[in-house]
Copies of this chain bind each other. A is one copy, B any other.
Amino acid sequence: MDVGGTKIAASVVDSEGNACSNIRVATERQDTARSIGQIAELAHRAVELSRIPWGDISAVGVAVPGIYYAATGLVWAPNLPGWDHIPLRNKLAGKLPARIVLDSDRAAYVTGEQWLGIARGLTDVIFLAVGTGIGAGIISSGRLIRGAGDIAGAVGWFALDPRAKEIYSRIGCFEAEAAGPSLARRAGGGLTTETVIEWARQGNLDARQIVDETVQYLAMGVANLVSVLNPQMIVLGGGLMQAGDLFLEPLRREMLQWAQPIAAQQVRIELSTLGEDAGLLGAARLAFLGSEG
């Protein structure tokens, strides 16, 4: 299952990555009891649709849009009202007759792409999600990097410009300068990010300039991941990368200006091939691996 701020997806996935009985619905956002109930109900519906008995289901993997604290089983998800350190693992365990495996969406994205996507079989991969926010899932030498407090990958906070703005202290410098909303902010005048992207595609010079500025910060952030972790591949995903045609080539070029030169030559920068399914398939993979009980 992939729980997002706006949508929840569920699917029954076999150990080869074949998925059946996919369901995708709007997330219940009224209160935590209803959203937790919705997750359990959706799991039951997906299993029912698949006609596989619960006894044959190895585990339920759930990707959450925030931080999963493995030691306590608590979840913090800033975009879901009330999801402030809720005991999701325990709550779901009472409603589902299978082992529950939770993890952050970042961990699920990179795991999904490494299992079945563009990064299939690689050992050193980073998934950089650029949407409303920015975050990274990191696999190094085949292992997920979690950090001491389970919040590794908070790269939206990368410091990329010493000329600090007030917004940096609220959402982080990289996120302020390069996440989706940054395009609308640069444009001003009530324009949306979608409009800026549309105008840039049509060759509008002001819109192109705005895209170029965003690309510069994106390239700096990507370069920093290259220099510190020396990955084989960085997979770009998230909403903004639906405009990957505008961003990918200039980002690759500009990254070379910043990253450690040998590491920059070794890395491939690619768009996600699993798209919306990366989190769902990654959650399934994590469930099979059983990283958390």
Q: Determine if A155 is an interface residue (Cβ-Cβ < 8 Å).
A: yes
Confirm or deny: A232 has a beta carbon within 8 angstroms of a beta carbon on chain B: yes
Chain B residues contacting A108 (CB-CB under 8 Å) are: none
Query: Contact at B146–A228, with CB atoms within 8 Å?
Result: no
- Pick the interface stretch among A30-38, A52-60, A216-224: A216-224
- A147 CB contacts on chain B under 8 angstroms: 124, 140, 229-231, 263
Task: Please tell me if A289 contacts chain B, counting CB pairs below 8 Å.
Answer: no
CA distance A220 to B173 in the complex (A): 10
- Contact between chains at A260 and B164 (CB < 8 Å): no
Query: Which chain B residues lie closer than 8 Å to A223 at the CB level?
Result: 157, 159
Chain A interface residue count, CB cutoff 8 Å, equals 52
How many copies of this kind of chain does the complex include? 2
In the assembled complex, which residues on chain B have CB atoms less than 8 Å from the CB atom of A143?
A: 141, 143
Q: Which residues 7-51 of A have a CB within 8 angstroms of B? A: none
Other-chain residue from B138, B151, B161 in contact with A162 (beta carbon distance below 8 A): B161
Query: A206-218 vs B: 1/0 string, CB under 8 Å?
Result: 0000000000110
Which of B138, B145, B161, B169 meets A257, CB within 8 Å? B169
Q: Is A118 at the interface (CB under 8 A from chain B)?
A: no
For residue A155, give the distance in angstroms from its CB to the closest CB of chain B.
5
- CB contact list, A163-199 vs B, under 8 A: 164, 168-169, 172-173
A227 to B140, CA, bound (A): 16
At the interface, yes or no: A247 with Cβ under 8 Å from chain B?
Answer: no
- If A140-B152, A169-B257 are given as contacts, then 5 extra A-B residue pairs at C-beta distance below 8 Å, sorted by A number, are A149-B263, A159-B223, A159-B258, A160-B160, A161-B162
A residues neighboring B (CB under 8 Å):
122-124, 136, 138, 140-141, 143, 145-162, 164, 168-169, 172-173, 216-217, 219-221, 223-225, 227-232, 257-260, 262-263, 266
